[in-house]
């Protein structure tokens, strides 16, 4: 190894403090200019691809987005450095209901509605809004450091993706997997559209259970039915009982008189009814309840729809027509009570369905809608998961996935809004023929008429996003991107859209492409506040990633999120954690500044081909630990254990590289031994280079900045090869001896602290080690031990006893003695210890008094009593230490 081959100093040195705002803006701009994020498609290289879960075009970056996209970026940067063809496809979702709501609110401020514009002009207005405001979240993702291939940004309403949507719709229709039918759906009276089951959020709310008397038609009695929605009784067309319920067999010929109306309704006998629940009788409202709808089909019952699309009672509601559904509920309850039909009202907590966009209570209602028959598609997706073609991480989600897929219902895909993919179906005005085609037909294929009307409904937003893994790669065209990057490698998303989106991508990808859309699904946890509570503006506990990035830096936020991304359902995040990792970023910066003082003018080649066998212990140990860290980080990232990767890096950088290695080699770096200095410079540069590359996927900005200040000409760190384990660096013997060395240093420092020896005071140390091998190792390390502990004399002996007046420490089977004569003021220290003894004895007496108090022991919670017992143990141990200290001081008299 050359002693100190020099090159010209680097163009600039690291500033004293890390000014992250300037660094982040400068490097992200350079990465874009240099096309560092651009996908490569080189034959012979493995490929790695991710499609971004497309955020809503209306969205702004929240902490969940920050977590999700940080993890994706960590993987993409890691795989890019590992030599893969990498592609991270960015894009946004048109978010049909949400976007239409935003623009409609905008129009309302102008005193207008969408109907004042008409469909075509309204859509133009939405596109205008999208051009002006729809890129907000994309710019915020760039602030986060996301290394997406921005030249390939997609939007679910792009012409290419729209073509994919039409192609899939027509194919599924012609395969009989899409149909149009009158069916019970979830209806949002605010958004005026149907919702799929997944778009309904259920929340437990306090309500009422109303027990209503339904008289027998012949006046001979009545049956009591219970309901939480008495306003729907106006649409009742039967009362159902169990076929084996003897109590109601006589009603088959009699029927039931519907309260508040002149109608008589039949009694039907259906196994759906639970005899043991309530009175065993169930009101049946086929037009306003999913289960009732099914009963109605089985018994050919009339469907009476009593509400309009806004939740207002219609003409079928008779005298209640024109009332809002909740106002109608109050009026009906009052009328039932007045006329003697109300038996009782009970408090009742139950799950209430709400629109996931506007939070309006949804109304089950019959409606003519378009559906996907999902059972054949779901079976294929389940098979792919069962046979391992798709793996779900963490594994705890498998059973949930199977249970949901086994009970899946047909998917309602039509929405009664204007913004979205208009369904490619046309009806002939003359003969009623329905035609489903990718492009508007010129004439009816049945009667030849040119009078055709396109379906006004649009497709559910999730329909287009279900095609995202292949539509973004150019399908239905046979593109080069499809060849290289489909199926994609992994999907990272939050567990709450496993069924909204993930399962639907599985179904569509397997059916349309005859191949799974991704090989792995990583479902990350939801971010909560430090107490585990959901973040919300109303409670004031929101952590805004944009705010914390401006305050602590993007790298600090990214490392925090990665460190907390354990596989589970909840991440508890506090701002002070982000501040803590800002200190870690500063630690990296300061350690690099120190290193550059010694390697800035070195030939960068000195870090290559290091032979550990020729090196002292400090270098052999740090190379061994670096090797272990590399192995741990690679394995953790390959297994999607992001927090373990961050933990391994943190431990290595802070505790081992900074706190131990840099201190250990300072004497060589500042000393006159040219060989020792050259060895330290070479290993220091090698370790720093590899450490920065290990860190880069998580903390891209600070590592890029430091990388370019290291000696030599350097391209972007993101195109450097990711560190790989070097077998020559494995050295268990060095690890064992280094652990012994650190234990002895720690013991001596412990004596300094407990004996309150001034940090600058030099001490004498006597080490007694009976083990031959350990003795030899410590003897060889005596010089380093002296340096790191400010020791004037270091005696390593095989036999010995504690000198008079010496403080002692036992590490494993090794005794450490430090004579205190001349190092402490005996009178002063004795006074301190006596004061501490008196205080400790008083506290011990107080605790023991509590524990001997019968009243306290009888009434105090067990955890309080346990805490007092713990204090007693602590006080007793402290008194033992004080006693030992006094005895040592007495020996110095």
Q: Binding-site residues for ATP, please?
A: 537
DSSP character string of 287-307: TS-HHHHHHHHHHT------B
What is the length of the chain? 893
**Nearest to 680, CA basis, from 578, 595, 574, 571:** 595
Rounded (5°) CA angle 55-61-64: 80
d(CA 785, CA 745): 7
User: In this structure, are residues 108 and 667 in contact, taking their beta carbons and an 8 Å threshold?
Assistant: no
d(CA 278, CA 730): 72
d(CA 872, CA 848): 7
The backbone torsions φ and ψ at residue 797, rounded to the nearest 5 degrees and listed phi first, read -120, 155
d(CA 318, CA 564): 59
DSSP secondary structure code for residue 146 in this structure? -
Which residues are registered as beta bridge partners of 137? none
Q: Which helix (H) or strand (E) holds 526?
A: strand 526-528
d(CA 332, CA 325): 10
HSE-CB of 460 using CA atoms within 13 angstroms:
22
Give the distance between the most distant pair of CA atoms in the chain. 120
Q: Which helix (H) or strand (E) holds 371?
A: strand 363-372
Integer angstrom CA distances of residue 540 from 48, 534, 544, 577: 40, 11, 11, 18
User: In this structure, are residues 694 and 629 in contact, taking their beta carbons and an 8 Å threshold?
Assistant: yes
d(CA 418, CA 459): 10
d(CA 573, CA 557): 11
Give every CB contact of residue 693 below 8 A, 6+ residues apart in sequence. Answer: 81, 703, 717, 720, 721, 722, 723
In this structure, are strands 570-572 and 526-528 parallel, antiparallel, or unpaired? parallel
Which residues are registered as beta bridge partners of 493? 523
Rounded (5°) CA angle 200-564-391: 60
d(CA 702, CA 588): 8
Known binding residues: 537
User: In this structure, are residues 574 and 530 in contact, taking their beta carbons and an 8 Å threshold?
Assistant: yes
**Nearest to 146, CA basis, from 12, 251, 36, 293:** 36
What sign for the dihedral angle of Cα 819, 825, 827, 829? negative
User: In this structure, are residues 36 and 716 in contact, taking their beta carbons and an 8 Å threshold?
Assistant: yes
Rounded (5°) CA angle 59-423-434: 170
User: In this structure, are residues 305 and 366 in contact, taking their beta carbons and an 8 Å threshold?
Assistant: yes
SS3 105: helix
Which residues are registered as beta bridge partners of 504? none
Which residues are registered as beta bridge partners of 204? 351
Q: How far is CA 434 from the centre of its chain?
A: 45
d(CA 610, CA 233): 84
HSE-CB of 653 using CA atoms within 13 angstroms:
27
Q: Which helix (H) or strand (E) holds 167?
A: helix 159-174
The backbone torsions φ and ψ at residue 289, rounded to the nearest 5 degrees and listed phi first, read -155, 135
Q: How many other CB atoms are found less than 10 A from the CB of residue 723?
A: 20
The backbone torsions φ and ψ at residue 489, rounded to the nearest 5 degrees and listed phi first, read -80, -50
């Amino acid at each position: 190894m050359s002693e100190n081959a020099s090159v010209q100093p680097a163009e600039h040195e690291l500033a004293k403090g890390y000014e992250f705002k300037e660094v982040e803006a400068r490097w992200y701009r350079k990465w874009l200019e240099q096309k560092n994020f651009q996908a490569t498609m080189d034959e012979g290289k493995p490929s790695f691809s991710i499609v971004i879960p497309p955020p809503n075009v209306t969205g702004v970056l929240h902490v969940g987005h920050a977590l999700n996209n940080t993890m994706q970026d960590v993987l993409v940067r890691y795989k890019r450095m590992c030599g893969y063809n990498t592609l991270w496809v960015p894009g946004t979702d048109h978010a049909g209901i949400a976007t239409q709501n935003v623009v409609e609110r905008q129009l309302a401020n102008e005193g207008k509605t969408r109907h004042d514009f008409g469909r075509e002009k309204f859509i133009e207005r939405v596109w205008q809004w999208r051009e002006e405001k729809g890129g907000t979240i994309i710019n915020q993702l760039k602030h986060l450091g996301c290394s997406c291939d921005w030249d390939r940004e997609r939007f679910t309403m792009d012409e290419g993706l729209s073509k994919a949507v039409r192609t899939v719709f027509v194919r599924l229709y012609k395969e009989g997997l899409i149909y149009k039918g009158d069916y019970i759906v979830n209806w949002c009276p605010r958004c005026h559209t149907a919702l799929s089951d997944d778009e309904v959020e259920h929340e437990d709310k306090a309500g009422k259970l109303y027990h209503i008397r339904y008289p027998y038609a012949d006046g001979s009695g009545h049956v009591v039915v219970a309901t939480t929605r008495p306003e729907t009784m106006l649409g009742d067309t039967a009362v159902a009982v169990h076929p084996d319920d003897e109590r109601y067999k006589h009603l088959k010929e009699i029927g039931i008189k519907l309260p508040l109306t002149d109608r008589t309704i039949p009694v039907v006998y259906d196994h759906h009814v639970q005899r043991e629940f309530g009175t065993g009788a169930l009101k049946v409202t086929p037009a306003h309840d999913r289960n009732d709808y099914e009963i109605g089909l089985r018994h050919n019952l009339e469907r009476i729809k009593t509400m309009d699309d806004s939740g207002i009672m219609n003409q079928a509601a008779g005298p209640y027509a024109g009332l809002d559904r909740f106002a109608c509920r109050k009026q009906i309850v009052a009328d039932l009570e007045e006329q003697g039909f109300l038996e009782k009202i009970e408090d009742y907590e139950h799950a209430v369905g709400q629109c996931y966009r506007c939070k309006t209570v949804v109304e089950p209602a019959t409606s003519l809608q378009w559906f996907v028959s999902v059972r054949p598609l779901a079976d294929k997706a389940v098979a792919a998961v069962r046979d391992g073609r798709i793996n779900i991480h963490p594994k705890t989600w498998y059973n949930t996935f199977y249970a949901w897929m086994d009970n899946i219902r047909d998917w309602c895909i039509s929405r009664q809004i204007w913004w979205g993919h208009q369904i490619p179906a046309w009806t002939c005005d003359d003969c009623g023929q329905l035609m489903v085609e990718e492009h508007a037909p010129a004439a009816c294929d049945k009667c030849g008429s040119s009078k055709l009307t396109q379906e006004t409904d649009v497709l559910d937003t999730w329909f287009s996003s279900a095609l995202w893994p292949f539509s973004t790669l150019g399908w239905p065209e046979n593109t080069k991107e499809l060849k290289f990057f489909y199926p994609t490698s992994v999907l990272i998303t939050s567990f709450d859209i496993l069924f909204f989106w993930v399962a639907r991508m599985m179904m569509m990808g397997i059916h349309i492409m005859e191949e799974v859309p991704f090989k792995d699904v990583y479902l990350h946890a939801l971010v909560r506040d430090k107490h585990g509570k959901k973040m919300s503006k109303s409670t004031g506990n929101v952590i805004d990633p944009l705010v914390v990035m401006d305050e602590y830096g993007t790298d600090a936020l990214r490392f925090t999120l990665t460190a907390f991304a354990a596989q589970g359902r909840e991440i508890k995040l506090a701002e002070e954690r982000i501040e803590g990792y800002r200190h870690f970023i500063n630690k990296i910066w300061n350690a690099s500044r120190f290193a550059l003082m010694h390697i800035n003018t070195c030939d960068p080649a000195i870090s290559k081909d290091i032979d550990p066998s020729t090196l002292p212990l400090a270098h052999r140990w740090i190379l061994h630990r670096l090797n272990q860290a590399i192995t741990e980080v690679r394995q953790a990232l390959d297994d999607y254990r992001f927090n373990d990767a961050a933990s391994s890096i943190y431990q290595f950088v802070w505790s081992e590289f900074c706190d131990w290695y840099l201190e250990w080699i300072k004497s060589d770096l500042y000393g006159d031994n040219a060989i020792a200095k050259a060895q330290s410079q070479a290993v220091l540069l090698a370790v720093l280079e590899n450490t920065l590359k290990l860190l880069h996927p998580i903390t891209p900005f600070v590592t890029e900045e430091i990388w370019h200040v290291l000696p030599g000409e350097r391209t972007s760190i993101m195109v450097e090869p990711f560190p790989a384990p070097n077998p020559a660096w494995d050295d268990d013997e060095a690890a064992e001896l280094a652990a012994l060395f650190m234990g002895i240093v720690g013991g001596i420092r412990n004596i300094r602290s407990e004996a309150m020896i001034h940090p600058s005071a030099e001490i004498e140390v006597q080490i007694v080690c009976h083990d031959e091998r350990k003795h030899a190792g410590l003897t060889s390390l005596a010089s380093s031990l002296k340096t790191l502990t400010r020791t004037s004399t270091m005696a390593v002996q095989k036999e010995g006893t504690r000198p008079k007046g010496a403080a002692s420490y036992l590490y494993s089977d090794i005794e450490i003695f430090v004579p205190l004569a001349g190092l402490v003021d005996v009178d002063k220290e004795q006074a301190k210890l006596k004061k501490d003894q008196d205080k400790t004895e008083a506290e011990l007496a107080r605790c023991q008094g509590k524990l001997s108090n019968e009243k306290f022991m009888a009434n105090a919670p067990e955890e309080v009593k346990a805490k007092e017992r713990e204090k007693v143990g602590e006080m007793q141990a402290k008194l033992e230490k004080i006693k030992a200290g006094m005895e040592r001081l007495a020996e110095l008299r």
